[in-house]
A and B are shown apart, each in its own frame.
Chain A
Amino acid sequence: MKVMPMETERHKHVGTDGPESQFVTFEIGEHTYLIPIERVVEFRTWTEPTSVPHTPDYVRGIVNIRGEIVPVYDVAARLGRGMTEPGPRHVVVIVRGEDSRSVGLLVDSVTDIVNARPDNMAPMPKIEGGDATPFMSGVVFAEERILGVTDVDRLVTEAFPDGVEPGGPPA
């Protein structure tokens, strides 16, 4: 495997005292992840969404967000960590992708907001021939930990990364 050239945030900002970025942190099991705050539309407590036939199991269903139909993805299931058994304390984070599609992300809890300076952020190294962390766009060093930043665009748009339409005829 060959590591592709890495471009860090440092290249993009002049000096280390550029503007700070803000992230919302959420937890799944023992893991903490970040979402860029500008992508977050709102938080909702879990209520059972309307299920949709012929969809993969991480699609928990659809909810009504101010008159729009928005799918809810189980992030744990999406990341291959098993289905969440949600209760009233679980949270659905409504996020918006660059193409202005909205989805709800089912997570265990939303915990905090962290600030990060550019020199504390780095994109994910891209590895040729494989994607070890398909839904992470980068890492942030905060509170003496390294936290993964979720790739909202990818989560929002790549509903079916393998290109197989669920429920369709077997290939």
Chain B
Amino acid sequence: MATEEEDLQRIFFLECEELVASAEQSVETLRAGGTQDDAINALFRAVHSIKGGAGAFGLDRLAKFAHAFESFMDLLRKGRATLDAAAIDLLFDGVDVLRMLVDEAQNGTQAPPQRYDAAFSALRKAAGLETGPADSAPEPAAPDPTAGIEFEAPAAAALRQYRIVLAPGPRMLAAGVDPLRVIANLKALGSVSVEIDASDLPALEALDPAVCHLRWTIALETSAPRDDVDEIAGMIDDLADVAIEDLTPPEPEAPPEPVVPTAEAATAEAATAAAAPVAAPAAGAPVPDTRREKPVATVRVDVPKLERLGNMVGELIITPAFLARQASDLDTEKHRRLFRALDEMSQHIRDLADAATSIRAQPLKVVFSRFGALVRDLEKSTGKRIRLEVSGEGTEIDKTVVERLSEPLTHLIRNSVDHGIESAEKRLAAGKDPVGLLKLSAEQRGTHVAIELSDDGAGVNRPRVLAKAIERGLVSPGANLSDQEIDDLLFVPGFSTAEAVTSVSGRGVGMDAVRATIAEMGGQVGLVSRTGLGTTFSLHLPLSLAILDAMVTLVGLHSYLIPTSAIIESLRPAASALVRMDGQNTLLAWRGSMLRILSLGAEFSVPGAMDDPTRGILVIVKPAGGELIALQVDDLIGQEPVVVKSLERNYRKVRGISGATILGDGRPALILDLPALGAVMARRPRAEAGTNAG
């Protein structure tokens, strides 16, 4: 369907805008002589993501250009090209042309051919992809441009229209059956419009309040079977007259196949396919929800209004705790009603908070629906056979999260297809179904949403991962790593087990980008792999970006909050574990490596903060996309979910701080920006070397 494709493209272009902006920033950082590794990695990831999306949408020129750009970045990253002034100029140029190409793909405004040709050929030369003129070099393996993108039209069960007349009998209300409940049940089946008939209503003197004098005529449009409607009517047939009339206009021709492929059906189909491997390639098709989505009336609301609502609710959330504290020394017997009211109020406020969160929520379907096409493209480009099963796409999560999920999930799916699922021959040899199974599921668990992507492939090849990590110098030879630690290497920047570099798949950039993006949203990525049986990635994401699980720490008299998802461990260090370097730096020996200690008291000039690390607590954190650091605080107070508030709204961005929240006593407290603090640490040792490197 064209509109859906356009929607997806629109989202891709929005992402491109962000990616190009971030790429620009990275180049700017490089020119200013900032931390090189981070900026190069960030730039590489941005270009890589654009390449991936462009490939999936068949945007050939963009994909080709991004591929050349990426190849050059790869050399820079590995230190095989030098980052001199000419290289930086080339990067600037590259980002510029990249922006034009995105614009070209989006609006049809053609990028100036000379600039394109010049930058393209310069990048290819710099990347060692060509020595002569641009055209003579072989084309990088670009995705089939004719593949385009197609979407399964959602299999719609036929809509039927009913007219239902509900006339409650005299005993209905007395029996405790609410006619409105009946209407609500019908409404759950589809869209409903209700007319009320009050003509039987007697004069006030004659009115018996225990008898219902009203009748309703309900027009129901539903895809649910007639049985469901009859069942609702059946529940009250001794208490009311219910007349059901089917008004659906008869179809002139035979109705289209109403079969919706359920998971079982798809499995059966796959079994058939397995028996006869020439069968139709229905493989990449996602399994749609069996129930068609109901049309729902909607209202457009400005985001600031939603934010105000969220603020006020956030304020309310902490009120019950505050009141409970105030009431804690009251006699519970004497004030029983007060305490009951308090309980009820806090329940209502929790419900209100849930409702406020759900307003910003969007079903994951928005992003899941693009993966059917992606998998089909991957089938074509890899020659592997894959069936994608999607479930739980109705699970809702904050709109911002939905938008940012597409990129990491795309990476994960590519990764599973490239490195997880084996070729049909290998699968047959291993006694497996030649068609690989990829399952993508989502589910809400409390205040989080769990998304899982599992394949039934070969699992992580741990000996090879370890060998590669040693070869890349990520692990010292002879290191004794657990399976989990080896699996974790996949997320280290620059790691890759890909044997061949292709235009669609990556060079190992995907996995660290995935972890970084998820961590930025306050989530976590986990991986469970069983050799020969497959790999499961699980993403754990907060329902709302506005709510963060945080550790409250104390420094001097101030509270600082650390996102719990980034915390590895907290400890009180022994003096023997500390190594003092120069005036600024102290290192902590921890699990065989040396971590830098960042004293929050010193960094934020907090009066009364403890100097001596052995008397405080060190919180070991993993900033998104950075190295482990040990944050020194005076004490830990506890862990709690907090509502994130913007500092920028009324003030401005503050270095090292990502936002603020309001604690139970009504006072604001600051939330740490761990990537920024990581960057502060990363800059330190280079300070002596001079900052004018660029």
Contact = CB atoms under 8 A, between A and B. Distances in A.
B306 to A, nearest CB: 13
Contacts of B311: 66-68
B648 to A, nearest CB: 9
B649 A101 contact: yes
B667 interface: yes
Contacts of A102: 650
A66 B311 CA distance: 8
B667 A70 contact: no
A53 B604 contact: yes
A68 B650 contact: yes
Contacts, number: 78
A64 B654 contact: no
A14 to B, nearest CB: 36
Contacts of A165: 655
Interface in A49-82: 49-55, 59, 62-64, 66-71
Interface string A29-67: 000000000000000000001111111000100111011
B247 to A, nearest CB: 50
Contacts of A64: 315, 662, 666-668
A66 B647 CA distance: 14
A43 to B, nearest CB: 17
A50 B558 CA distance: 8
A55 B654 CA distance: 8
Interface string B653-690: 01111001010001111100000000000000000000
A50 B670 contact: yes
A62 B312 contact: no
A168 interface: yes
Given A50-B558, A69-B645, A63 B668 contact: yes
B652 interface: yes
Nearest to A73: B651
A62 B662 CA distance: 11
Nearest to A167: B655
A66 B319 CA distance: 12
B652 A53 contact: no
Main secondary structure of the interface of A (DSSP, over half): loop
A169 interface: yes
A159 interface: yes
Contacts of B570: none
Q: How large is the interface on B (under 10, 10 to 19, 20 to 34, 35 or more residues)?
A: 20 to 34
Given A52-B657, A53-B654, A68 B649 contact: yes
Contacts of A68: 311, 645, 649-650
Nearest to B652: A159
A62 B668 contact: yes
Contacts of A159: 651-652
A95 B603 CA distance: 31
B315 A62 contact: no
B510 interface: no
A106 interface: no
Interface string B211-253: 0000000000000000000000000000000000000000000
B408 interface: no
B646 interface: yes
B605 interface: yes
B312 A67 contact: yes
A53 B656 contact: yes
Nearest to A104: B650
Interface string A87-105: 0000000000000011100
B185 interface: no
B657 A101 contact: no
A160 B650 CA distance: 13
B691 interface: yes
B314 interface: yes
B666 A53 contact: no
Contacts of A169: 691
Contacts of B651: 52, 59, 62, 69-71, 103, 159
A66 B645 contact: no
A136 B691 CA distance: 40
A91 to B, nearest CB: 19
A11 B209 CA distance: 68
A70 B654 contact: no
B662 A168 contact: no
B141 to A, nearest CB: 44
B646 to A, nearest CB: 7
Contacts of A101: 649-650
Interface in A117-171: 159-160, 165, 167-169
A41 B457 CA distance: 62
Interface string B292-334: 0000000000000000000110110000000000000000000
Contacts of B604: 53-54
B315 A66 contact: yes
Contacts of B606: 53
A53 B657 contact: yes
B314 A67 contact: yes
B309 to A, nearest CB: 10
A161 B528 CA distance: 53
A55 B647 CA distance: 13
B670 A52 contact: yes
A54 B662 contact: no
A63 B650 CA distance: 11
Contacts of B655: 53-54, 165, 167-168
Nearest to A55: B654
Given A67-B314, A70-B650, A50 B668 contact: yes
A69 B668 contact: yes
A10 to B, nearest CB: 35
Contacts of A53: 603-606, 654-657, 670
A66 B318 CA distance: 12
17 contacts: A49-B668, A50-B667, A52-B647, A52-B654, A52-B657, A52-B670, A53-B605, A53-B670, A59-B651, A62-B668, A67-B312, A67-B645, A67-B662, A69-B662, A101-B650, A160-B652, A167-B655
Given A54-B604, A62-B660, A70-B651, 16 more contacts: A52-B647, A53-B656, A62-B668, A63-B667, A64-B667, A66-B311, A67-B312, A68-B311, A68-B649, A68-B650, A69-B646, A69-B649, A71-B650, A101-B650, A103-B651, A168-B655
In order of increasing CB-CB distance, the 6 nearest A-B pairs are: A67-B315, A53-B604, A67-B311, A71-B651, A50-B668, A69-B660
Interface of B: 311-312, 314-315, 558, 603-606, 645-647, 649-652, 654-657, 660, 662, 666-670, 691
